[in-house]
Amino acid sequence: MTIRILLAGATGWVGRALTPAIAAAPDLELAAAVARSAAGTRIEGAPVFATIEEALTVPADVLIDYTKPGAVKAHVAAALNAGLHAVVGTSGLGAADYAELDALARERGRGVLAAGNFSITATLLKRFTLEAAKYVADVEIIDYASAGKPDAPSGTARELAETLAGVRLPATSRPVSEVSGVPATRGGGFGEGAREVRVHALRLPSFVLGVESIFGAPDERLSIRHDAGSSAAPYVAGTLLAARKVSGWTGVRRGLDTLLD
């Protein structure tokens, strides 16, 4: 059976790599696209619309969203209400946002797969970090991205921190509430109490996307780091895998690792 894809953000960095990959896949079809700059044209034979509401007039099965943090939640909600499943590659949403979308997805009987990063190596960063957290109590995350990235932290770092906060051992570091000087320099916090995870976001030229988990124990350290290059190619295979699998459950799943093994 052919899966009909509605791609939001078709002219963006990842979208431009996804459109030919969808067109080349024998089991996928690009049914429609959303891209304001290309509205009224066609991409890989599919009509391009300015808004998600217009695009949803075309029959489709799965929304793939690579747009902007301020738009993605409304896009996914609209798609779920129209009977589509959704794959979310746009960053910027937090746990509370996904809890709302999970409730809506369950109400509509649809699946959502959201990942901060659809790269296989970024997925392995998350897996190895969660494994190390079983044995080493103290961990913090550094989030690297370009100077122009609009959200902080990145979706990769946010997803990692929120998951890590639920499984990590209690930290031995001084609580931020007891830090003098400028406590904000200790980074942003995810989770509560001694299991809170601190994330430090760097936004500088020459970086694309990178996340580093740093563990510290007496007289030793462990660093686990993922860096992405300038191409969107690493995200294509994982995104299409999610599009093929997302109809297999109800509600929101977070992380490409939930599809592995």
- pLDDT at 261 > cutoff 80: no
Which numeric CATH code is attached to 120-228? 3.30.360.10
Sorted by where each begins, the domain ranges of the chain are 3-114+232-259, 120-228
pLDDT of residue 1: 86
Annotate 9-30 with b (16+ C-beta within 10 A) or e (fewer): bbbbebbebbbebbeebeebbb
- pLDDT at 133 > cutoff 80: yes
- pLDDT at 64 > cutoff 80: yes
pLDDT of residue 38: 96
pLDDT of residue 95: 86
Whether the ω angle into residue 26 lies within 30 degrees of 0, i.e. cis, is no
**Are the beta carbons of 196 and 190 closer than 8 angstroms?**
yes
Pairing of strands 197-203, 188-190: antiparallel
**Side-chain-side CA neighbours of residue 121 (13 Å):** 12
pLDDT of residue 218: 96
- pLDDT at 114 > cutoff 70: yes
- pLDDT at 250 > cutoff 90: yes
DSSP state of 185: G
CA distance 144 to 214: 13
pLDDT of residue 230: 84
pLDDT confidence tier of residue 62, bands split at 50, 70 and 90: very high
Q: Considering just the CA atoms, what is the radius of gyration of the chain in Å?
A: 19
pLDDT (mean) for 26-43 = 97
* pLDDT (tens digit per residue) in 162-217: 999 999 999 999 999 999 999 999 999 999 999 999 999 999 999 999 999 999 99
- pLDDT at 132 > cutoff 80: yes
The fold adopted by the segment(s) 3-114+232-259 is: Rossmann fold (3.40.50)
